[in-house]
Amino acid sequence: MKENLLDSIRSTVFKQSDSLDGICTTIEGYDFNKGVDYHEVLKSMVSTGFQASNLGDAIQLVNEMLDWRLSDENLTEECSEEESDPTYRKSVKCKVFLGFTSNLISSGVRDIIRYLVQHRMVDVVVTTAGGVEEDLVKCLAPTYKGEFSLPGAALRAKGLNRIGNLLVPNDNYCKFEDWIIPIFDQMFDEQTSMNTLWTPSKVISRLGKEINDESSYLYWAHKNDIPVFCPGLTDGSLGDMLYFHSFKKEPGLVIDIVQDIRAMNGEAVHAGLRKTGMVILGGGLPKHHICNANMMRNGADYAIFINTAQEFDGSDSGARPDEAVSWGKIRGSAKTVKVHCDATIAFPLLVAETFAAKAKRSVDDTS
């Protein structure tokens, strides 16, 4: 009797399992006995588990997105003669939408983004107002490293504004005001004399032109004709400047968001035979704006989200890519990854193994 009981317990605890060999990756971390090889460390993330694996998967997916060519797809009946030409098809790449929240521009990730825009590695950029002004302000005066724990009242008394563990002196914004108001004056004159109808993306392009500083991603976006969309342009220091300027030159600049939504959705709709990919850092407006535009073409083909938001509260920021699939913002056939990580850690590592690695390779190849 005891024998039967023991056998039954044994068979419960040591339940026969299916074999995963050859089906799933085995978990193995990096072996530092091989030395400190950063590329290999990053490669090992895929098999390290948890968010390291998600980052590893994101790296693989971004590389797949960047490697895709129209020539990888079969010819369809509707293809014109030009579209069927193999050389042409080999030249058609995925259209990349890059979105990020403004805190990332306050951080050093701004310089990573500048690199991408400088080298035309992305096609469309979407951000919030701070994502525009913080880049411009940094050209006029720097942001400093502080601490999360610095007391607010003491900082206010010293004229220091805290963004997480970063500090931006009030003086920086005074410099920004002194720089931007004359530009708004010129833009207002163009509005009245030349009937220029400003939109957020046109305003941003003009500011990128005026800042004329190679450390600014907006400068490169203007130079490379990469549109930067920001429907919430007034929600930041830029909005404050527009507010004050409207008293100076009544009734102020007119900025049309309808023309911009035509342009933004048009970027997705008229992508044509190109596949589209979304690389989105953080949540909020940039995340949804890009996903929504891609809904207009029945969904993006690649989606890489890097953010720390969770889905339990039903927020769009925390929503996983699969939720977007239910809306048609991402295709059912698409490949997606969400990396639950602060983008200041994940994004530089991702770019190192994808965009930058490919650029280096192509330079090495041609040299």
Partner 1 sequence: MSDEEHHFESKADAGASKTFPQQAGTIRKNGYIVIKGRPCKVVEVSTSKTGKHGHAKCHFVAIDIFNGKKLEDIVPSSHNCDVPHVNRTDYQLIDISEDGFVSLLTDNGNTKDDLRLPTDENLLTQIKDGFAEGKDLVVSVMSAMGEEQICALKDIGPK
Query: Any idea which residues carry the catalytic annotation?
Result: 329
Here the tokens at position 117 are: 């825009």
Which of the stretches 48-56, 208-216, 238-246, 335-343 binds partner 1 when contact is defined by CB under 8 A?
238-246
Does position 170 interact with partner 1 (CB under 8 A)? The reply is: yes
Q: CB-wise, 147 or 178, nearer to partner 1?
A: 178
Does position 111 interact with partner 1 (CB under 8 A)? The reply is: no
Query: Dihedral of the CA atoms 212, 209, 176, 136 (nearest 10)?
Result: -70
Q: How many CA atoms lie within 13 A of 147 on its CB side?
A: 3
Here the tokens at position 15 are: 């339940």
Does position 243 interact with partner 1 (CB under 8 A)? The reply is: yes
Which of the stretches 90-98, 111-119, 234-242, 352-360 binds partner 1 when contact is defined by CB under 8 A?
234-242
Q: CB-wise, 50 or 243, nearer to partner 1?
A: 243
Site string for partner 1, 190-229 (x = CB under 8 A): ----------------------------------------
Q: What is the SS3 assignment for 134?
A: helix
Q: CB-wise, 115 or 179, nearer to partner 1?
A: 179
Q: What is the SS3 assignment for 207?
A: helix
> At its nearest, how many Å lie between partner 1 and the CB of residue 22?
57
Among positions 107, 161, 216, 354, the unique one binding partner 1 when judged by CB under 8 A: 161
Q: CB-wise, 211 or 349, nearer to partner 1?
A: 211
Amino acid identity, residue 15?
K
Does position 247 interact with partner 1 (CB under 8 A)? The reply is: yes
State the Cα–Cα distance between residues 14 and 314, nearest whole angstrom. 39
**Cis amide linkage into residue 227, ω under 30° from 0:** no
Q: CB-wise, 158 or 270, nearer to partner 1?
A: 158
State the Cα–Cα distance between residues 176 and 172, nearest whole angstrom. 6
β-pairing, 166-169 vs 160-163, is: antiparallel
Does position 174 interact with partner 1 (CB under 8 A)? The reply is: yes
For 354, residues 6+ apart whose C-beta sits below 8 A from its C-beta are 59, 62, 63, 66
Does position 185 interact with partner 1 (CB under 8 A)? The reply is: no
What is the maximum span of the chain, computed from C-alpha positions, in angstroms?
A: 100
- The residues binding partner 1 (CB under 8 A) are 159, 161, 170, 173-174, 176-178, 236-237, 240-241, 243-244, 247, 250
